[in-house]
């Protein structure tokens, strides 16, 4: 009688060893951030688990279980699936452009039966995997500067252009920045980096003038002087700054934030959840969450540093870059230091596809740690 693989003693022992290799400190940090997010979502909903807090926790629980399972998947499987995952995500972005669901003037979602997903989030993980696989097989001299670099440039540019067309300027910038930083980590010549930065400095004003929609232009430049249009383009930033400043050191207390409770603060459960937290939990609450974010970044970079394969190092680094940029962009946005571009605060903000893709990224990081000594063949 055949015994299933999972019941064989050797397979069970191997699984137990893999579970023991998982970085449970990272898991605890992610759970702490998500828990704080759930508390805030409960508070700003008027001390109610619906419509956000309960769904946030349930989705995290499902994603956490999936993350642990995916962490035990051999790194060579991730390597083999890198291009297919990227390809499927890119096709989904193309489908959004043709048959995507539009809301508030943006066509960013794809309806698959009863499920609505945002492919621009999925491509973040797909891009990290594709670039990690490409550079794993590329010699160091070619990674510094060669015609081969047109391939990663295309891998980055295609999804960035499709996402910008939706339009979702914030996510497009995030995708481009993640890809660019991964190219730098892979060994791109600093001269090329300098030239690219100079090109961006010239191209951004031209793009703002000729390519961006009027409301995007307003968002891009209003953060410099939000008072010029208090009830229009500057409204989001002004209300966010009021919430940030009114919290003081210790905050007003859960459920007592006027900006969020009276709905002055727009998108209080997603883009501006950090402002809601500042008002109710104050500077100390915000500092605690930022320290947790910093700890996650440190732990994931440590995983990248100990990975044996180039693919593992770049994959873990790419997920870390994406996570860190989300925190940086959202934090700067709600403080009025950057334009309002619609990038949520990871794990703190409410959002289904964002949560799923972020946890998939951390599953990849955990897999890199568990299989850090795995030999990943070039090719």
Instruction: Give tens-digit pLDDT for 290-315.
Output: 999 999 999 999 999 999 999 999 99
Tens of pLDDT, residue by residue over 325-375, are: 999 999 999 988 888 887 899 999 998 889 999 999 999 999 999 999 887
Per-residue confidence band for 209, with pLDDT thresholds at 50, 70 and 90: low
Q: Is it the case that residue 101 has pLDDT exceeding 80?
A: no
The 10s digit of each residue's pLDDT in 12-67 is: 667 788 888 999 999 999 999 999 999 999 999 988 999 999 999 999 999 999 99
Please state the rounded mean pLDDT for residues 240-251: 90
What pLDDT is attached to residue 206?
73
Least confident among 4-13, 224-233, 240-249: 4-13
Residue 11 has pLDDT above 70, yes or no: no
Note whether residue 313 is domain-resident: yes
Domain annotation covers residue 7: no
Number of domains in the chain: 1
Quick check: 3 pLDDT over 50?
Answer: no
Percent of the chain surpassing pLDDT 70: 88
Q: Is the dihedral of CA 59, 65, 69, 70 positive or negative?
A: positive
Q: Has residue 9 been placed in a domain?
A: no
Q: Is residue 239 part of a domain?
A: yes
Q: What is the mean pLDDT of the chain?
A: 87
Is 33 domain-assigned?
Answer: yes
Of 175-179, 263-267, 277-281, 282-286, the range with the lowest mean pLDDT is 263-267
Phi and psi, residue 267, nearest 5°:
50, 45
Report long-range pairs for 281-286 (Cβ below 8 Å, ≥24 apart): 281/40, 281/247, 281/250, 281/251, 281/254, 282/247, 282/248, 282/249, 282/250, 282/251, 282/252, 283/247, 283/248, 283/249, 283/250, 283/251, 284/249, 284/250, 284/251, 285/36, 285/247, 285/251, 286/247
Strand order in the sheet with 101-103: 101-103, 106-112, 115-117
pLDDT at res. 7: 41
Which pLDDT value is given to residue 117? 87
pLDDT category at 99 given cuts 50, 70, 90 is confident
| Model confidence, pTM | 0.90
pLDDT score for 219:
64
User: Which of the given ranges, 167-171, 192-196, 198-202, 363-367, has the highest pLDDT on average?
Assistant: 363-367
Rounded Cα distance between 135 and 155, Å, is: 12
pLDDT at 2: 40
- The CA-to-CA distance between both ends of the chain, in Å, stands at 40
User: Residue 255 belongs to what domain range?
Assistant: 21-370
pLDDT digits (tens, 9 = 90+) for 176-191: 999 999 999 998 988 8
pLDDT at 110 over 80: yes
**Assigned domain for 185 exists:** yes
Q: Answer whether residue 6 shows pLDDT above 80.
A: no
Report the pLDDT value the prediction gives residue 123, as an integer from 0 to 100. Answer: 95
Residue 205, domain member (yes or no)? yes
What CA–CA distance (Å, rounded) separates 313 from 21?
Answer: 17
Which value, in Å, is the radius of gyration of the alpha carbons in the chain?
Answer: 21
Mean pLDDT, range 70-78, rounded to an integer: 94
Q: What is the pLDDT of residue 4?
A: 41
Q: Is residue 375 part of a domain?
A: no
């Amino acid at each position: 009688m055949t015994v299933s693989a999972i019941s064989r003693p050797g397979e069970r022992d191997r699984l137990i060893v893999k579970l023991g290799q998982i970085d449970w400190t990272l898991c605890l940090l992610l759970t702490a951030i998500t828990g704080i997010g759930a508390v805030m979502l409960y508070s700003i909903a008027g001390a109610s688990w619906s419509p956000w807090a309960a769904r946030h926790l349930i989705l995290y629980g499902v994603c956490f279980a999936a993350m642990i399972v995916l962490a035990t998947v051999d790194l060579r499987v991730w390597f083999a699936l890198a291009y297919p995952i990227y390809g499927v995500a890119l096709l989904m972005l193309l489908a959004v452009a043709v048959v995507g669901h539009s809301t508030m003037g943006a066509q960013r979602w794809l309806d698959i039966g009863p499920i609505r997903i945002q492919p621009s989030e999925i491509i973040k993980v797909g891009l990290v995997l594709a670039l990690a696989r490409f550079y794993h097989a590329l010699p160091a001299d070619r990674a510094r500067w060669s015609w081969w670099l047109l391939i990663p440039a295309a891998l980055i540019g295609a999804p960035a252009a499709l996402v910008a067309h939706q339009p979702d300027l914030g996510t497009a910038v995030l995708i481009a920045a993640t890809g660019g930083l991964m190219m730098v980590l892979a060994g791109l010549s600093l001269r090329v980096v300098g030239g690219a930065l100079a090109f961006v400095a010239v191209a951004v004003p031209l793009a703002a003038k000729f390519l961006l929609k009027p409301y995007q232009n307003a968002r891009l430049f209003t953060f410099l002087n939000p008072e010029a249009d208090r009830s229009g383009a500057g409204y989001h930033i002004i209300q966010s700054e009021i919430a940030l400043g009114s919290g003081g050191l210790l905050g007003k207390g859960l459920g007592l934030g006027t900006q969020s409770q009276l709905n002055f603060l727009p998108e209080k459960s997603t883009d501006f959840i950090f402002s809601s937290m500042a008002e109710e939990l104050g500077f100390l609450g915000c500092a605690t969450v930022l320290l947790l974010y910093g700890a996650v970044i440190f732990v994931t970079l440590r995983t990248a540093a100990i990975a044996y394969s180039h693919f593992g190092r770049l994959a873990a680094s790419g997920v870390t870059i994406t996570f860190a940029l989300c925190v940086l962009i959202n934090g700067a946005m709600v403080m009025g230091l950057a334009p309002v571009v619609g990038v949520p605060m990871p794990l703190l903000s409410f959002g289904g596809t964002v949560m799923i893709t972020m946890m998939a990224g951390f599953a990849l990081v955990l897999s890199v740690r568990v299989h850090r000594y795995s030999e990943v063949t070039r090719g």
